Structure 1
Amino acid sequence: MKKQFIKILTIMVLFVFGIGTSAYAFTAGYSSFAELYASEEATDYTIKAADMGRDTTILALHGGGIERGTSELVEALKGYGKYNTYLFEGLKATDNGSLFLRAIDFDEPTAVSLVKNSDYTVSVIGAAGDEEITYIGGQNKILAELIRLHLINKGYNVKTLSISDRIAGVMNSNIVNKNKLFNDSYQIGGVQIAISKGLRDKLVTDSSTLNDYSGSINEALSVSWPKIVPHLQKITKSEGILNKFNPSKRNFDKKIEHILEKDAKTPKELIENTKE
């Protein structure tokens, strides 16, 4: 009865602050991998890591039966041969949600090492809801916007999350934001893609949608993003050597916001906006 009361109270608080519950499911899970390791059978989950020596790592933290469809998307992206990939997959016949480890608590050593040695990171997680929608967030706002534009230009419904959203992926503690310093000076962070259950189910059952969706993300990461990086590097270089001792980079953030305020409608427009 007490647990039920706490759950109801939590829902009420979330709605008061405008966060809502439609974008995610309530899952308590574990607070560390060590805790999960000590409590679960080794046969209940598997870890699949592929370090290809690439500069980008794509993660499925809740793969397999935990959040169906996330593994399938990361595996599809792995097929392009351009990314390191990591999958933590639930293998239980039922109740794979018990294996849930929040992104802000995800400290499994192999994943931590891969992210730490990557220039860019993307995490694919699940969201609740039967409608087909993608929620995108993370600290790397330019890359997030680039992926969003590639997806919406293919007809997908994509919502950019704000800081107040529970799955916005903007916290420093989120593993996706713990990648290498950008240009050796700025913590640019990563991108978190949260996909609704409705869309994840379609990715699993419809190979053409999976190929189209993964292809859009691949194009953003492998074709458009490399065109933007040199322009962002120029911004960090123009800020001076003292920036190495100031990871917050307020001026850099302001310039990123200025680029985003131009409200590009296509990936090509966003690329052009970063040149100015």
Structure 2
Amino acid sequence: MYRSNTELYADPSLREGVDYGRRFHRHGAVDDDRSGTADPPSAVVIAMHGGGIEAGTSELCLAVAGYHPATLAPVTAGAPLYDYWMFEGLRDRRNTELHVTSTGCDDPQAVSLCSAARYAISLHGCTPAQAGLPGTGQAVLVGGLDAALKAYLREELAAAGITALDGAADPALAGVSPRNIVNRTLTGAGAQLELTTPLRDAMFGENTRAGRGRTTLPVFWAFVNAARAAVARRSAD
């Protein structure tokens, strides 16, 4: 495990595009009005353990940001599109060796995107055991320092039929460190979502890197719509 992205990128044994990949989308902004300042970006969505590290989080990151995970086309015409950033393991195996903790994330684009946004959501994977559930447990642990966004996420996920638990019950998954990348926003807070493996498995008809984006199932979109509804509510506060 690497202590930071900087340390990982400096490892001469790793090759970008072979071992790992990085993707981001920063939406353009122009402010030519001298009488005021344009609002900062509403939200950013991040998946720092995408690809083969925590399977399914790349696809969820794209969709929560408003893009179809297979085509990258906007899912709904006229709906908000959010900035996103992801780090993805591209290996056939041993992708967990590329894991960088949320507090160690120092990728320049990730830091820049989060520090410019009012709100942030990070998507992660955990085991049922880590969530205190039986082996088949499907749930989301909702953590982070943004209390309002956390509350909206739990409400919207529950309304969608997805079990949402308070991540504060597990210090390792609570996401409450100010150094956690998701909390390094303009407001100093964000929301960290830890999805159990069975829940992520249930989201795809073909749970492979090539197949996930084109075989999304109803529970995938139920989760995505709930997360986007929560962000919309937080943005309206």
| 1:116-152 superposed Cα distances (whole Å, 9 cap, x missing partner) | 1111111001111241110001000111111110001
How far apart are the structure 2 equivalents of 1:213 and 1:172? 26
Larger RCO: Structure 1 or Structure 2 (Cα < 8 Å, ≥ 6 residues apart)? Answer: 2
How far apart are the structure 1 equivalents of 2:177 and 2:20? 26
How far apart are the structure 1 equivalents of 2:201 and 2:170? 27
Task: Tell me the TM-score normalized by structure 1.
Answer: 0.67
Answer whether contact 1:66 1:100 (CA < 8 A) is retained: yes
| Residue in 1 that maps onto 2:120 | 121
How far apart are the structure 2 equivalents of 1:110 and 1:180? 15
- How big is the alpha-carbon RMSD for the aligned residues of Structure 1 and Structure 2? 1.5
Shift of 1:154: 1.4
Task: Tell me the TM-score normalized by structure 2.
Answer: 0.77
Task: Point out 4+ residue stretches in structure 1 off by more than 3 angstroms.
Answer: none
Letter in structure 2 aligned against 1:67: E
Letter in structure 1 aligned against 2:190: G
Query: Number of residues paired by the alignment?
Result: 193
Shift of 1:163: 6.4
Answer whether contact 2:148 2:234 (CA < 8 A) is retained: no
Given candidates 23, 29, 50, the residue that maps to 1:63 is 50
| Residue in 2 that maps onto 1:165 | 171
How far apart are the structure 1 equivalents of 2:229 and 2:148? 15
Which aligned pairs between 1:1-276 and structure 2 lie closer than 5 A? 29-39=1-11, 40-42=14-16, 43-53=18-28, 54-78=41-65, 79=67, 80=75, 81-129=80-128, 130-162=136-168, 164-181=170-187, 187=188, 189-205=189-205, 206-222=216-232, 224-227=233-236, 229=237
Could you list the runs of 5+ residues in structure 1 that have no partner in the other structure?
Answer: 1-28, 182-186, 230-276
Letter in structure 2 aligned against 1:220: A
**Structure showing greater Rg:** 1
After superposing the two structures, state which structure 1 stretch, 114-123 or 206-215, moved more.
206-215
| 1:132-188 superposed Cα distances (whole Å, 9 cap, x missing partner) | 11000100011111111000111111110226520100001101001013xxxxx3x
Could you list the runs of 5+ residues in structure 2 that have no partner in the other structure?
Answer: 29-40, 68-74, 129-135, 206-215
Structure number with higher helix proportion: 1
